[in-house]
Structure 1
């Protein structure tokens, strides 16, 4: 498992390189501040270490008590001698200091703070109260009074293996370590490493740790920062939630496959209805024109003995024309209803499509793309297994298209934009109808079910237009021959 670094400047990674073989170690953190953010000791606490956290700001101390119940947490400051001192608590977390010069510098830059008194102890006093045989490391970060803290220790009795001291003027790169280094070297400590903010010293009793502190954190140390760890964790959780939600949407789409099938059926039947309505409209138009000419035909037949028979035939013709009109109206209503159903179903599919597009366009999806890519690279096959990747991918896309109605819908939209909709749709409908178990749609059967008035129109006893026209011509010719004989 990778080492998680919580520290501001990877100080915990440097310490872990030297002390990773120590089990259940002990630390003292002077100026502990936040129990997690920028904490040098958090990773060690997570790995079973325990220690003393010294924090003079009451709010930060309460957070330490809540988060580090197995540590010793002290609400005080450390200095060269015990007593009570004024501390400047800045509006910026972590900038509290006992040093007036540091406080004045912050205020000159526009930062605000307040002075209040705080109890002060010495490092030697704390070590004497909580007797500990081995202090594996001491970390001191007190915004300018590090030297005073170190002077308050009894270095003959209490000798941390490693001492980490902030060694620049607060929030600058101005080095302030000369007096600190003189003190520690005089107390038999060896300089080991500097990271630009802190300096690391090793006691002569444990100088075997010096080689492990020679180099800064690097790729061989197998670590990741807390921010990286959190980002990956959040991305994994977001990806998991997204995959679950995507599966729910997919299940919803698959459960509504009957809707897509219904749309296809209605569209297919709608085309047949359109064709049938065109035929009926043309036939009605011809019958209307023929009925308009009946008056002229009757004028030529008034003088013949067939006048009454023609009147009866015209009456039958008018009745049949009325049935055609009734059937046409019924078909129109059926067609309008089908179009309404089609629009409703297409709207529901559009809503589902927009929902999927919003998911793929979401920030969490784009943000997690690198993580998913890394996951695929980490879990992916290599060598010979990559040879068939594209072939298997192609076959998988074909199976997905055949089993995914939503994908078919998106394909229809695409081919419409490309101008290939009509030929591809005709081919698709032929295949779909050929594989469907449904009975072929019958417009005549539906008309018969919708309006019984159409029964006589489609019966074998009705006259076609050609037959009717032929009979009228025969009647006119017979009347003309009879007048000629008279």
Structure 2
């Protein structure tokens, strides 16, 4: 996995080569300075690592608080014990120091020195502030105050896996580690690598990490340069960046000029639109006055129409009440007439029923008489049949007598036919009499 290097001398590249397999890790940065420029910890922070920054300069401590979310920032110097000490700040540089002799050398070189008083804590207190868990690397960049920092380790059992200490005199290539290296070795560390500015030490418990320091940073580390470091080899990147900024600024100026012309055109268009809007508002105001007059006229007409409709409604209401009274009278008269007619019809029907009952009784009596007569006729016919049979039996004997009495027989036959005709007439009359009451009722209804 590649990283972006922000450090001054590729310290982050070397540490990432040794510790990049740890996810996530922890660090302690003594003399952290800027959160971006020459930062050793930023590449790790971008990969999820978290840690402690110790920085006595108020300006840089505030920047660290603002830009390193999740990290602990201690605004103090680190020394042999907890106290207050004089600190010599050189604004805009990374060479501020707590060593008065070195500060004087910088003053003689023309640097502006600001002497301030800052709190001082021991390195053991920094380890305690880091909390429990492994610390994977410790970086110390204190401009000649290294021995005091390491002397504050004390009895702490914390052992960062790798310790990086700036080991040359400020602004020189002169190595200066003789008065403090023995302290590190006494805590169980052995020298692993010198990069021309810093010395790298590996804890005895993690001696396998020394293999990562057999060669300097190279193409196989696959890192990218941020262009923010103060080292000279970043200057070309910075120059190219500045050139691009100039080009971008020129392009931006052209765009701003075009935008200004567009703005002027838009202002002219807005002025024309404002004029058109004023005319439209004037026309609208005249139109509104005309519409208001028409609305007043329509309201007056509507009011007159409403009064007229109210009068008509009142007239129709009175007519409706009168019609309702007439309808009630007609309904009452109709109800009375209907009642009288119903009574008359009931009386008529009852009389017809009585008449029909009497007629039915009469017809029943007549029918009984007809039945008796029919019985007699039947008996007569039976007697005639008997006589006829007797005649046939004694035909031979009485032929002469029968011939003599043929006239009598013919008369009897005539009487029989007359009797049968009379019987048919009686039956027809009975049928007429039986249906006469109904024919009367139907005849009366049709006449009505």
1:237–1:24 Cα change, 3 Å: farther
Tell me the TM-score normalised to structure 1 length. 0.47
Measured after TM superposition, the shift of residue 155 of structure 1 is: 5.8
1:124 paired to 2:124:
yes
Matched residue pairs, number? Answer: 246
1:222–1:241 Cα change, 3 Å: farther
Measured after TM superposition, the shift of residue 232 of structure 1 is: 8.3
Which residue number corresponds to residue 383 of structure 1?
Answer: none
1:169–1:243 Cα change, 3 Å: closer
Measured after TM superposition, the shift of residue 147 of structure 1 is: 1.3
Which residue number corresponds to residue 45 of structure 2?
Answer: 45
1:68-217 aligned within 5 A:
68-154=68-154, 156-217=156-217
* Distance (whole Å) between structure 2 residues aligned to residue 154 and residue 26 of structure 1: 21
Measured after TM superposition, the shift of residue 199 of structure 1 is: 0.1
1:20–1:237 Cα change, 3 Å: farther
Which residue number corresponds to residue 56 of structure 2?
Answer: 56
Which residue number corresponds to residue 30 of structure 1?
Answer: 30
Which residue number corresponds to residue 450 of structure 1?
Answer: none
* Distance (whole Å) between structure 2 residues aligned to residue 42 and residue 92 of structure 1: 19
User: Contact (CA 8 Å) 1:193, 1:213: kept in 2 or not?
Assistant: yes
Measured after TM superposition, the shift of residue 24 of structure 1 is: 0.9
Measured after TM superposition, the shift of residue 116 of structure 1 is: 1.3
Measured after TM superposition, the shift of residue 171 of structure 1 is: 0.7
Measured after TM superposition, the shift of residue 92 of structure 1 is: 4.2
1:110–1:232 Cα change, 3 Å: closer
What SS does the aligned partner of 1:40 have?
coil
Give unmatched runs, 5+ long, in structure 1. 247-486
* Distance (whole Å) between structure 2 residues aligned to residue 237 and residue 23 of structure 1: 37
Tell me the TM-score normalised to structure 2 length. 0.51
* Distance (whole Å) between structure 1 residues aligned to residue 90 and residue 242 of structure 2: 32
Which residue number corresponds to residue 67 of structure 2?
Answer: 67
Question: RMSD of the alignment, in Å?
Answer: 2.7
Which residue number corresponds to residue 268 of structure 1?
Answer: none
* Distance (whole Å) between structure 2 residues aligned to residue 233 and residue 126 of structure 1: 38
Measured after TM superposition, the shift of residue 179 of structure 1 is: 2.1
Which residue number corresponds to residue 226 of structure 1?
Answer: 226
* Distance (whole Å) between structure 1 residues aligned to residue 5 and residue 21 of structure 2: 17
* Distance (whole Å) between structure 2 residues aligned to residue 106 and residue 238 of structure 1: 34
* Distance (whole Å) between structure 2 residues aligned to residue 155 and residue 37 of structure 1: 34
Measured after TM superposition, the shift of residue 132 of structure 1 is: 2.7
User: Contact (CA 8 Å) 2:124, 2:156: kept in 1 or not?
Assistant: no
1:255-266 aligned within 5 A:
none
* Distance (whole Å) between structure 2 residues aligned to residue 58 and residue 116 of structure 1: 10
What SS does the aligned partner of 1:86 have?
strand
1:241–1:19 Cα change, 3 Å: same
Task: Kindly name which structure, 1 or 2, has the bigger radius of gyration based on alpha carbons.
Answer: 2
1:233–1:149 Cα change, 3 Å: same
* Distance (whole Å) between structure 2 residues aligned to residue 72 and residue 56 of structure 1: 14
Which residue number corresponds to residue 3 of structure 2?
Answer: 3
* Distance (whole Å) between structure 2 residues aligned to residue 92 and residue 224 of structure 1: 25
What SS does the aligned partner of 1:176 have?
coil
Give unmatched runs, 5+ long, in structure 2. 228-233, 255-448
Which residue number corresponds to residue 418 of structure 1?
Answer: none
Moved over 4 A (4+): 228-244
What SS does the aligned partner of 2:144 have?
coil
